A and B are shown apart, each in its own frame.
Chain A
């Protein structure tokens, strides 16, 4: 059994991080705390969170594409204390022209494949990663398919001798709902041009 609850452990750790880095924005929503860290400070903050605050496990590295906004990409790290179960979210906004963050493989070895996944599907580069190759798609595939400007149906490609892709028949996808419609038939997901 954990000796203290994960909420009190998280609050304690966040207070500690806030005392050490007072300039970093800290936001709490329904018990989960999110830090927004500029990428220049990312390694420093993460090292402090791991070594001084006990966040000894990197659970997830994901990336968000805010297409059309000033900072298009955002890398989101979820770190946790294995002992107490306290979570902490760390967000790092990135410009479209320079979507590069320092790699965290030196801190958590689980970052290796997680960062490769984000490199493959979202096209974020992780500086200092020991083995930054694609992990889902094959070497030579030219796109990053989870970006907002990539079509759902895919794009025809050909990597001779390795793989090919074709455009999938989607019958007008993506299907979007129309909230506020009077009947269920008006609200249901349809192809809307």
Chain B
């Protein structure tokens, strides 16, 4: 499991390394955020070639389990965040939205690759022009497809966002209407590039 840097540790916990019994003082929010951060169970929404990169990222060479995110949950009720890897057609969009609705709060979403972010090269009648039209996206990863390192960077970006959450329990009961999701997502997002 990855460990925080010294600087992050000092930011988030009041830790006295010289204390004999290993006491850690922190706030409830920081502890909850820390637990969210290191046990992110993904719901891999793999529809095309980005899913192959996700498979590479989760296998031993790139090893996404270093970041506590290796437990793929194909049952959305057990997942913490959705990794949308690939082209989402309008026919698939309703199903993606239904899976998103089945995931319990708190939940996050990473749009991986050009198609999921913006429709990519498919400017056509059949392809949803960005999944942020149906689900609120937290992190966009560019690339066609992105390399596994970019996926890991996206995951780290999401973890940093989670650590900055002020009230981690506040959003437990939030809901988004289908066509309102884009507006909700626009308020606070991170964009990373290769």
The chain A residues found within 8 Å of chain B, CB to CB, are: 136-138, 143, 145, 150-155, 162-166, 168-171, 173
Sorted nearest first, the 9 A-B pairs with minimum C-beta distance are: A154-B125, A168-B123, A170-B123, A165-B90, A145-B125, A163-B90, A163-B94, A138-B91, A168-B129
Assuming A153-B125, A162-B94, A168-B129, what are 14 further A-B pairs, CB within 8 angstroms? A136-B91, A145-B126, A150-B125, A151-B125, A152-B123, A152-B125, A153-B123, A154-B124, A154-B126, A164-B90, A165-B126, A166-B129, A168-B119, A168-B125
Counting contact residues on chain B (CB < 8 A from A), the size range is: 10 to 19
Which residue of chain B has the shortest Cβ distance to A155 in the bound complex?
A: B125
Contact: A173 with B123, CB < 8 Å?
yes
A151, B93: Cα distance in complex, Å: 21
A145, B126: Cα distance in complex, Å: 9
Which residue of chain B has the shortest Cβ distance to A138 in the bound complex?
A: B91
Listed A/B pairs (8) with beta-carbon separation below 8 Å: A138-B91, A152-B123, A154-B124, A162-B94, A168-B124, A169-B123, A169-B129, A173-B123
Q: Which residues of B contact A168 (CB under 8 A)?
A: 119, 122-125, 127, 129
Which residue of chain B has the shortest Cβ distance to A134 in the bound complex?
A: B91
The chain B residues found within 8 Å of chain A, CB to CB, are: 90-91, 93-94, 119, 122-127, 129, 133
A163, B90: Cα distance in complex, Å: 6
Closest beta carbon of chain A to B168's beta carbon, Å: 33
Q: Which residues of A contact B127 (CB under 8 A)?
A: 168
Q: Which residues of B contact A153 (CB under 8 A)?
A: 123-125
Q: Which residues of B contact A137 (CB under 8 A)?
A: 91, 126
Which residue of chain B has the shortest Cβ distance to A170 in the bound complex?
A: B123
Q: Which residues of A contact B93 (CB under 8 A)?
A: 163-164
Q: Assuming A152-B124, A168-B123, is B129 touching A163 (CB within 8 A)?
A: no
Q: Which residues of A contact B133 (CB under 8 A)?
A: 166
Q: Which residues of B contact A154 (CB under 8 A)?
A: 124-126
A150, B91: Cα distance in complex, Å: 18
Closest beta carbon of chain A to B25's beta carbon, Å: 51
Which residue of chain A has the shortest Cβ distance to B95 in the bound complex?
A: A163
Q: Which residues of A contact B94 (CB under 8 A)?
A: 162-163
Closest beta carbon of chain A to B106's beta carbon, Å: 27
A95, B34: Cα distance in complex, Å: 67
A138, B122: Cα distance in complex, Å: 19
Which residue of chain A has the shortest Cβ distance to B134 in the bound complex?
A: A164
A154, B89: Cα distance in complex, Å: 13
A163, B125: Cα distance in complex, Å: 13
Closest beta carbon of chain B to A173's beta carbon, Å: 6
A169, B122: Cα distance in complex, Å: 10
A169, B127: Cα distance in complex, Å: 11
Q: Which residues of B contact A169 (CB under 8 A)?
A: 123, 129
Q: Which residues of A contact B119 (CB under 8 A)?
A: 168
A182, B93: Cα distance in complex, Å: 45
Which residue of chain B has the shortest Cβ distance to A162 in the bound complex?
A: B94
A166, B133: Cα distance in complex, Å: 10
Q: Which residues of B contact A166 (CB under 8 A)?
A: 129, 133
